[in-house]
Chains A and B, each alone.
Chain A
């Protein structure tokens, strides 16, 4: 109701902008008061900073093979030890973090984009378009996602995608598997929104479809979308790590947290050299838990009704 208030109290138009944004400001204030969520955010941001800026300060970024430094346990020069090629594990964990975090965020954007687009179209236009989109989503949801991921991973190897490009395809794969449930959620939300009074008002005003959808329906979805998107990053990071762990995602020499844990498949590395595979595992865990806690705090603030 802020705009009506503004009119009643006769606040000049210039100030109305500030009044309108107060819902956001209120939410921000509420969020800052949630200590756990802020702690999560701080951890996520530090993880990003460490992974993206950290390697710049490392003397071992060239990932040169160093035979004299093979498989050393953690020591003063190599805080997390070295791997079988004599590379510094800490530097590799940070470099892997760049890839894992990038893949997580990019595939989140992609699946949220596809999911929102298709869900919004289905929910808004109903009829035959809705039927087609939702039946495809139903179909994809009946097929278990891990076998689906494995098949795509195997295809990736067959096409001999160069290691550098594999991460982009992995993003595509993850978002392809992720969009149906998102589309379903967005559609459900839209179906309930389009019955609200403010949508009747847009009909009375004679607005065009595009304007109804873009200016009136989608802005109401933004809080939900922010929450879904945040929580989705964690899921995408986990899926990428599973795929890479089984050697079907991003492959060495490009490091990711998942394919670094792959060294645990080697019996001796697994038993004798835990510094090779434990740090990336904990990196995944800490990042995902922080994202989930922050996302949950966001949900409390932005979308209290969806609380589960």
Chain B
């Protein structure tokens, strides 16, 4: 385990270094920059600003500066918002996390319940219905379902607010504030849950189907245990165990926000921040965000492998 971890960590760091270079070059390749796009500036002022932000230096030098700063915990300064990238992340990330944690929680609960029942009644009409629902959930274009639900639920029926996190101009505090946020997050949470629930339900359903066929389930039944006990104590636990590996893969989604959903619902999260910065080419922020997701992805994968081993010691690392 120790040797494995050392090897794995070294590889992780190497991959992240390579990723940082790739991310930097990709954004360097992206046409336009923050200063060129601003028509209010005179050419002299533009040159001055380029000098100031170091945009006229050779690429490699800029990359090395960026990396050097990053290792000192400084991910640069957002040109558009005029704040350090990390401060901005800290401001926006928790809004994203709020959406993500609630919808992830709902997704898992719904997926486990529906998956288990569908597996238990495999090939029943309920199961067929679930399968169709799963395919539907997996095939929805996320931006379209978002727009469609806003149109129906918010614009036509006026049940829920169409977007944002608070009503414009609202200065509610305390309970009223919480109520307002909950109202505003309902729609995005519904959409995110809908988008995620399909594949997860399918996963639990097939896990449960495999487990029900095992000999120890037959043994449990032969012992005369009640069906409920067999299902929930003996089968469900074993069906849930492999899902522990999925926890790691949820990591980027939990903290990385959702570019599309936050954009559609105008939610002040980190994904929305990214989309705004992309239009004005705020490179420090764009690079910081992409690198942040890359780090989360790599850590998530590592976490999954370790958890997998912890859950099932038969799995060799």
The answer for the CA separation of A296 and B206 in the assembled complex, in Å, is 13
Question: A21 within 8 Å of B by Cβ?
Answer: no
Binary contact track B247-262/A, C-beta < 8 Å → 1, others 0: 0000010001001100
- 12 A-B interface contacts by CB (under 8 A): A135-B15, A142-B15, A143-B22, A143-B294, A144-B252, A154-B31, A154-B32, A158-B31, A264-B147, A270-B155, A285-B144, A293-B135
Q: Which size bracket describes the interface of A in this complex?
A: 35 or more
The answer for the CA separation of A291 and B32 in the assembled complex, in Å, is 39
Q: Which secondary structure dominates where chain A touches chain B? A: helix
The answer for the CA separation of A142 and B148 in the assembled complex, in Å, is 32
Extra A-B contacts (10), CB below 8 Å, given A142-B15, A278-B148, A292-B138: A139-B18, A143-B294, A147-B286, A151-B30, A157-B31, A234-B139, A241-B143, A274-B151, A284-B144, A292-B139
Partner of A271 from B19, B131, B141, B155 at Cβ < 8 Å: B155
The answer for the CA separation of A158 and B36 in the assembled complex, in Å, is 13
Q: Is the CB of B259 within 8 A of A146?
A: yes
Q: Is the CB of B135 within 8 A of A242?
A: no
> Within A242-284, which residues are at the interface with B (CB < 8 Å)?
242, 245, 261, 264, 270-271, 274, 277-278, 281, 284
Binary contact track A282-305/B, C-beta < 8 Å → 1, others 0: 001100110111001000000000
Binary contact track B114-145/A, C-beta < 8 Å → 1, others 0: 00000000000000100110011011111110
The answer for the CA separation of A242 and B29 in the assembled complex, in Å, is 22
**A281 to chain B: which residues have CB within 8 Å?**
141, 144, 147-148
Q: Which residues of B contact A (CB under 8 A)?
A: 15-16, 18-19, 22-23, 26-27, 29-32, 128, 131-132, 135-136, 138-144, 147-148, 151, 155, 202-203, 206, 252, 256, 259-260, 274, 278, 286, 289-290, 293-294, 297-298
**A147 closest partner in B (C-beta):** B290
Q: Is the CB of B294 within 8 A of A144?
A: yes
Partner of B26 from A142, A148, A238, A270 at Cβ < 8 Å: A148
Q: Is the CB of A142 within 8 A of B139?
A: no
**B252 closest partner in A (C-beta):** A144
Q: Which secondary structure dominates where chain B touches chain A? A: helix
The answer for the CA separation of A54 and B124 in the assembled complex, in Å, is 38
Q: Is the CB of B147 within 8 A of A142?
A: no
- By Cβ-Cβ distance, the 3 closest A-B pairs, closest first, are A158-B31, A281-B144, A289-B139
**B206 closest partner in A (C-beta):** A308
Question: A138 within 8 Å of B by Cβ?
Answer: yes
User: What's the least CB distance linking A290 to chain B, in Å?
Assistant: 8
Question: A150 within 8 Å of B by Cβ?
Answer: yes
The answer for the CA separation of A288 and B63 in the assembled complex, in Å, is 41
Q: Is the CB of A155 within 8 A of B31?
A: yes
The answer for the CA separation of A40 and B168 in the assembled complex, in Å, is 45
Q: Is the CB of A142 within 8 A of B294?
A: yes
User: What's the least CB distance linking B181 to chain A, in Å?
Assistant: 24
Q: Is the CB of B143 within 8 A of A36?
A: no
Q: Is the CB of A150 within 8 A of B278?
A: yes
Q: Is the CB of B297 within 8 A of A144?
A: yes
Given that A155-B29, A284-B144, A308-B202 are known contacts, is A142 also in contact with B19, CB under 8 Å in the complex? Answer: yes
